[in-house]
Chain A
Amino acid sequence: MKLQTQYFDAIVIGSGMSGGWAAKELCEKGLKTLVLERGRQVEHIKDYPTTNKAPWEYEFRKRISKQTEEEYPIQKLKYCFDESTKHFFASDRKHPYTTDEDRPVRLYRSFNAGGKSLIWARQSYRLSDIDFESNHKDGHGVDWPLRYKDIAPWYDYVEKYIGVSGKNEGLMQLPDGHFLPPMELNCVEKHFKGAMNEKLGRIVTIGRTAHLTVAHNGRGPCQYRNVCETGCPYGAYFSSVSVTLPAAQVTGNMTFKPHAIVHSIIYDEKVRKATGVRVIDAQTKETTEYFGKVVFLCASALSSTRIMLNSKSPGFPNGIANSSGVLGHYLMDHCGYGFSAEVEGFKDGYYNGHRPTGFYVPRFQNVDQPSPDFVRGFGFQGRAYRQNWSRGNNQQGFGGEFKDALMKPGPWGISMGSFGEVLPYYENFAQLNEEVKDEWGMPVLHISGALGENEKVMIKKMAEAAVEMFEAAGFKNIQIGDPDSYVLGHKSHEMGTARMGRDPKTSVLNKWNQCHDVPNLFVTDGSFMTSSACQNPSLSYMAFTARAADYAVGQLAQGRL
């Protein structure tokens, strides 16, 4: 084993949604920053090999081959996984984890530069004080150590920089933001919006999406191709590969190291600080130690938790900064499933361009008055569309007229999925499985999770709410998905395993994303989340990362770290 040593001001572990922001902020504030990425490099444009390919240019027209299925038995369940995107997903064979048969957890992972910021759905919503106060008010989980006013300026900062298109609605449960012009709802969605507003008092708004509708910060506007998850050569949606990592690069302060798997964080008992990281080269398997004054852990919730659990020392026998024992626990996601209906009429209405977002129905439960059935709430995301040729699969007939009819737009349909808040449960957890090691000799994670009573009630009520909404809009033949099809983790919003809190005995991080136990170790991916809310979380990860970086640099300057 060859040991080398190198020194930096800051070390950032991970280069996705959070790591990209940490890299940009720390580099721009003048810190010599080492960014460690466990996977390969992905360069903007150059490494989007499929982005201009037509379906017939794939051997099986984008459908996944038998070999791909064997390599990605879990990843293939993700809606955007196919032959055009598989290279941005981590091989399940190469990167195993274990789970309980009766408490399965599904993890979607992207182990390459950019991480899941390359394949996310780009929905960008703020949390509100309803979310930040909920744990305190209803007693589930610990209190968030901060409130909306503390993070609001950082939401402003991030939105203005990345560019989010959307519409302000003046809602208590979904704070307004700084938006680029919104994309347009289609004819049926406009009708749906009107009916919701009139009959149920619910809001339907265009998805707030990290897509540029106009040129912004040197990046081009969306070309409405809707093949975003192959990488966007126009840089029209936010990814760390196209936005934050290049910004870090131009400062001259970033050293970017791909194929660098962090084994553990080095802890110095005497000074009670993290002094660096042990890194295994993914290709040569050699170990190197890197040292820094401050460490930002941004590897995605469960990968960060794995690194922390694997960082054992006499002071922290159960993982670094884990004096509370809650590290790995309180795993959350969003729960939900799908609904669809047929729409009569609107025969001369269509749309132009492939819009890369849909409509959003913000949470409407437990906002003004408490629900008798459950705490917290859920929202919906979906779209209306004209059916294409694939409707022929379910129709009788064949021949020339049949074919010519299928070439034309069919009747309208509408579909939407629900996103419900999952409460933090100690029993939903990840721990090291010392019995199973990966090819780099690191114990894999054993992850165990299930929905609790509140979610089980809520998930039933989602169907009632969806039916009520579709019926109010006059939609027909309503189809309700299978609530039992949901598996914890399926929404890829895994979070909460190193939660923030006011009390070091019951939480890992303080309000600055700083470990209570180890002041120069910051964790800013989804693991910090104290509650899950029901909004897509990436915008919050970015805002909290930028805020934590600002705080860390200030503390360093004052000699406190």
Chain B
Amino acid sequence: MNRRQALKSSATALVSLGALPGLSALLKSCGVERLTDYQPVYLSTDQFDTIWQLANLILPQTDTPGASEAGVAPYIDLLFESFFKDDEKQRLESGLNAFMRDCEDQENKPFVKINTQQQMKHLEEIQSTEFFSSFKQLVLWAFFTSEVGTKSMNYRPVPGQHQGCITIDENEKNLVGNR
């Protein structure tokens, strides 16, 4: 039932992100191939598409939803627009730009245009950088506090009872509520 619910809400999430069919056709007609039709509010489409792909690599869809189903990248765009303080914004953005530049220098193609295997290699390389660590934290938070992410765990906002000590097996998910 969790999976059904998650799929249903991820569909809703996509609709709410403004994925308009007409817009998609327009983008293609200009010769720009994008992975998503979402029009970012703060970030440039290049920056946004990179974030979109990075988030999907960090938290891909498995038998539970991943970053794109949970709307992680559009949410990060919103955080840039209205949540981050200036210094935070500058730090993240310059980290992102440096990553995009380095990638393009090495591959002669933007990050989003190289194949997944190459993308993974670049990700492995930046694992210990400050940019990747803060960006990953951002992706985790944006995913696991989203409706899709939360409901793919054991979301029980009103348990109605408490037991201090129960036995679980390895399939048990995190118990989460509204705290």
Contact = CB atoms under 8 A, between A and B. Distances in A.
A357 B141 CA distance: 25
Contacts of A403: 58-60, 62, 64, 66
Contact of B60 (A185, A399, A406): A399
Nearest to B137: A393
Interface in A52-70: 52-56, 59-63, 65-66
Contact of A398 (B85, B123, B158): B123
A521 to B, nearest CB: 42
Contacts of A386: 174
Contacts of A393: 136-137, 140
Nearest to A397: B127
A390 B141 CA distance: 8
A353 B159 CA distance: 5
A236 B70 CA distance: 34
B14 interface: no
Interface string B55-83: 00111101010100000000000110011
A223 B145 CA distance: 22
Interface string B134-157: 001100110011110010110011
A392 interface: yes
Interface string A169-203: 00000000000000111110110000000000000
B175 interface: yes
Given A61-B145, A348-B169, A352-B162, A408 B174 contact: yes
A354 B178 CA distance: 10
A161 interface: no
Given A225-B157, A389-B144, A398 B167 contact: no
A426 interface: no
B164 A406 contact: no
B83 A351 contact: no
Given A56-B146, A352-B159, A187 B164 contact: yes
A409 B141 CA distance: 16
A404 B62 contact: yes
B176 interface: yes
B83 A227 contact: no
Interface string A380-416: 0000001011101100101110111011110000000
Contact of B159 (A59, A223, A400, A404): A223
Interface in B29-69: 57-60, 62, 64, 66
Report, nearest first, the 8 A-B pairs whose CB atoms are least far apart.
A184-B164, A353-B162, A353-B159, A398-B58, A352-B163, A61-B145, A400-B62, A187-B165
Given A398-B59, A400-B60, A406-B144, 6 more contacts: A56-B146, A66-B83, A224-B160, A350-B168, A392-B136, A403-B62
27 contacts: A54-B178, A55-B178, A56-B145, A61-B141, A62-B145, A65-B83, A186-B164, A186-B165, A225-B159, A227-B179, A348-B167, A350-B166, A351-B166, A352-B159, A353-B162, A355-B162, A389-B140, A390-B144, A393-B136, A398-B136, A399-B58, A403-B59, A403-B62, A403-B64, A407-B64, A407-B153, A409-B172
